Amino acid sequence: MTPGLSVRGGLLAALLLAAVACGGTAVTPPPVSPSPSVAPLVKTATATVAGTSKTILVGATTGMTLYYFTPDKGGKTTCTGGCLANWPPLLLPAGQTKVIATSDIPGKFTTLTNAEASGQQVLYQNWPLYFWVKDKQPGDATGEGVGGKWFVATPGLAAG
C-alpha cells in the first residue's frame, strides 16, 4: 500500500468515528482509484536463437521478436520501401510520447520520425527496432542473421 494512502485511510477512519460518536452520520468515502498507467511497449522473453536459448526483446502486446538492422547504425533508418514490407518497424502508439518498457531492460529507448512508416519508430540503444514478417508466433526468431545484417535485439545490445 502507498504510504500516503495509509495515512489518509487512518485519518478518514478517525474522522468517521468522531462523527458517529458526536451523533453524526457516517459517510462512506468514494473509492480511491489507482493512477492510470501506460502498458509497456517492449518486454523480454526467452527464445531459441540460432540454437541457443537467449533473453530477447519482444513487442509487449504481441510477444513477437524484435530485430535490429546493422546498416541502421547511428540511429538512422535505412530499411525503406520493400524492406519495410518484410521488416515492419515498431512504432510508438498514437498519442503516446514515451517508450515504456519492463524494468528488466537496462538500455535507453528513444524514437525517431519514420515518415515512410507514418509514425515514431522505437529505438533501443540507438538501433531502430523491427519485426520480421516470417515469424509466425511468439518465440520465433527466424530473422536472425538474414542477409548477414538482421539480428535479434537483446537487453545487452550495445549502443549503435
Whose cell is 492510470? That residue is 36
Query: 92, exposed or middle or buried, with CB in 10 Å at 0-12, 13-18, 19+?
Result: middle
Q: Average the pLDDT over each of 29-38, 103-112, 131-140 and give the range with the smallest value.
A: 29-38
β-bridge partners, 47: 54
Domain limits, the chain: 1-36, 42-152
| Phi, psi torsion values for 83, nearest 5 degrees | -60, -45
- Give this prediction's pTM: 0.77
Grade residue 160 by pLDDT with cuts at 50, 70 and 90: confident
pLDDT at 11: 36
Q: Give the tens place of pLDDT for each residue, 86-104.
A: 999 999 999 899 999 999 9
Cα→Cα distances 132→28, 99, 124, Å: 54, 20, 17
pLDDT at 39: 84
- The 10 Å Cβ neighbour count of residue 89 is 23
Cell numbers describing residue 64: 513477437
More confident residue, 7 or 86: 86
Grade residue 37 by pLDDT with cuts at 50, 70 and 90: low
